[in-house]
Amino acid sequence: MGVGYGNDKEFIFTPAAGYHVADLIVDGESQDSTGSFTFYNITENHTITVYFEINIYTLTINAVDGNVLKSPDQEFYDHGTSVELTAVPAEGYSFVEWSGNASGTANPLTITMDGNKVITAEFTLKSYTISASAVGNGTITPSGPVTVSHGEDIRFTISPDAGHHLDSLLVDEINTDSVSGYTFYNVTEDHMIRAVFRIDDNPLPVLSGIQPSSGYRGETIDIFFTGSGFTDGVTSLNLGDGILLNGMVIISGDSIRANVTVEPSALPGIRDFTVTNAPPGGGTSAALSFTVLNHLPSVFDLLLPTDGDTVQLTSPATPVTFTWNRSKDPDAGDTIVYALVIQEIEDTVFFTGDTAIAVDIQGMLSMNSLYHWYVFASDGYDTTVSADSFTFRTSDNIDGVNGDDGQIPTTYAIYQNYPNPFNPTTIIEYQVPEQSHILLKIYNLLGQEIASLVDEVKIAGRYSIEWIAEGTPSGIYLYRLTAGDFTQTKRMTLIK
């Protein structure tokens, strides 16, 4: 088009419905304007081109307790595209309506994309009706038409009136064995439940007292039951495990005498005793407790080491023997297990079924130290401790070390340290058959020297040396004896 020299010219561009300005090219260069462009003081020819594109929209779908199918299923939609939405409820739910940029209950629903849209499918949990009714003298709770949500559980409680009982309970017209109630689990459809009651023929017994209320294992005793509603030929006793009923007599409507034996193998503890009257009517009383008692193992005396005795430490170490009198248990068949405890040796207990035990504990003992010891006796149910606690003191030397036996060793040797594990002091013994230059050193597992205990000439004999590992971290260490061509290495453990 022609424009006069020096004039201005404005161009206005309007996209069709559903379109927008994609680009504006003026004299070959893109411009930012999307609605108009003006040439000012025109002194030469110009070109202007506007490009339009169709609008593209997003469709956001929200759904809880279900999902929505889109057809076509795309991330973006051109202006004017028709999209079919189908709401699919999760199990137990039903579709209610559309909300957001759509409304109504149509399913499927067709929409036209004329802008970005957010649409929500609303679902609701399904519900069902359980019809509950009672016939006769009694109640069912809840009753009437009862609404239950999909997948829920609901329990109906059956309560006969006084002097009546539940004759039958029909669930969906099928008789059930339940007498106190019924539970529908995971309800997914309608149901019915009907309780039919009739008058009792036998009373519900009441149990109010038991005398005596305990007995020892292996004992046979008479027990008196008091209460009400006891009837000869109708009433029976329910006793706990391990209690035998030898016979019973209905003395009156409120008293029963029963002869019972508590079996020797019965587990100690509480048993529930009840009384039952046979149907029609009848039932079982509330429970009263009867306790099965256990005879405690008898108290016993300690023997050796005697109280205040001295235990000689030896090398090589030998077991220390402890003895005591036997604990007696009146309950036939019980087995007594003894547990020796040395108070100063923590977290260590020695078990035996005998009245004597030899234990390797010298590695846990220190020289010239006082120790307390006592013994527990258990029959598996109850535990008794010895009548007293004894003490013993360890010797201030180690028998067999430093050549006390007068014999000259015939070979080089290094022995296991004791105690082991230790903290922080341990003793290392070694022997030399002839005068030699002796090296005794401590190494860590990396081969690094930690300490040099001996580096001198020794004459033939047996020796011991104490290593005090103060400031040395916990771990496994090696100690090595070297004498001429002889080398021997052992391991020890330091625990702090």
Query: For 284-293, how does the pLDDT look when each residue is reduced to its tens digit (9 = 90+)?
Result: 999 999 999 9
Contact 430, 481 (CB under 8 A): yes
Give the Å distances, CA to CA, from 234 to 143, 206, 244, 259, 267.
Answer: 34, 14, 20, 18, 30
Statement to judge: residues 270 and 288 lie in one domain? yes
* Contact in structure between 455 and 439 (CB atoms under 8 Å): yes
pLDDT reported for residue 136: 92
Per the domain annotation, does 214 fall within a domain? yes
Whether residues 389 and 307 fall in one domain: yes
Q: Exposure pattern of 339-364 as b/e (b: 16+ CB <10 Å)?
A: bbbbeeeeeeebeeeebebebebbeb
Residues 6+ positions from 441 with CB-CB distance below 8 Å: 449, 450, 451, 452, 453, 479, 480, 482
Q: Does residue 194 form part of some domain?
A: yes
Task: Give the number of domains in the chain.
Answer: 6
Q: Return the CATH number at 354.
A: 2.60.40.10
| Domain contains 169 | yes
Backbone torsions φ then ψ of 362, nearest 5 degrees: -60, -30
> Distance (Å, rounded) from C-alpha 141 to C-alpha 161?
13
86-110 pLDDT, tens digit each? 999 999 999 999 999 999 999 999 9
Domain boundary among 125, 153, 169: 125
Whether 1 maps to a domain, the answer reads no
Looking at residue 234, the DSSP 8-state letter turns out to be T
Same domain, 147 and 159: yes
Give a yes or no: residue 3 inside a domain. Answer: no
Residues 67 and 117 in one domain: yes
In a domain, 414, yes or no: yes
**Cis bond leading into 424, ω under 30°?**
yes
Q: Which of 132, 128, 142 is nearest to 188 (CA)?
A: 128
Same domain for 212 and 256, yes or no, is yes
DSSP state of 267: P
On whether both 441 and 361 belong to a single domain, the answer is no
Contact at 8 Å (CB) between 198 and 164?
yes
Residues of the chain with pLDDT under 50: 401-404, 406
The one-character DSSP state at 364 is G
Smallest Cα–Cα separation from 334: which of 244, 218, 215, 239? Answer: 218
Domain that holds residue 27: 9-54
Residues 459 and 444 reside in one and the same domain = yes
Q: Which two tokens stand for residue 5?
A: 């020299």
One domain, residues 335 and 410: no
Residues 391 and 308 both lie in one domain: yes
Residue after which a domain boundary falls, among 125, 145, 172: 125
What is the length of the chain?
A: 496
- What pLDDT shows up at residue 400? 55
| Alpha carbons 312 and 309: distance in angstroms, whole number | 10
- Within a domain: residue 251? yes
**190 and 211 share one domain:** no
Q: Are residues 234 and 270 in the same domain?
A: yes
Of 78, 103, 125, which marks where a domain is finished? 125
CATH number of residue 445's parent domain? 2.60.40.1930
Q: Please tell me whether residues 162 and 89 are part of one structural domain.
A: no
- Other CB atoms within 10 A of residue 206 CB: 14
| 101 domain-assigned | yes
In angstroms, the CA 493 to CA 496 distance is 10
Question: What residues contact residue 399 under an 8 Å CB cut-off, 6+ apart?
Answer: 312, 313, 314, 315
Q: Residue 421 corresponds to which tokens in the numbers above? A: 């594990």
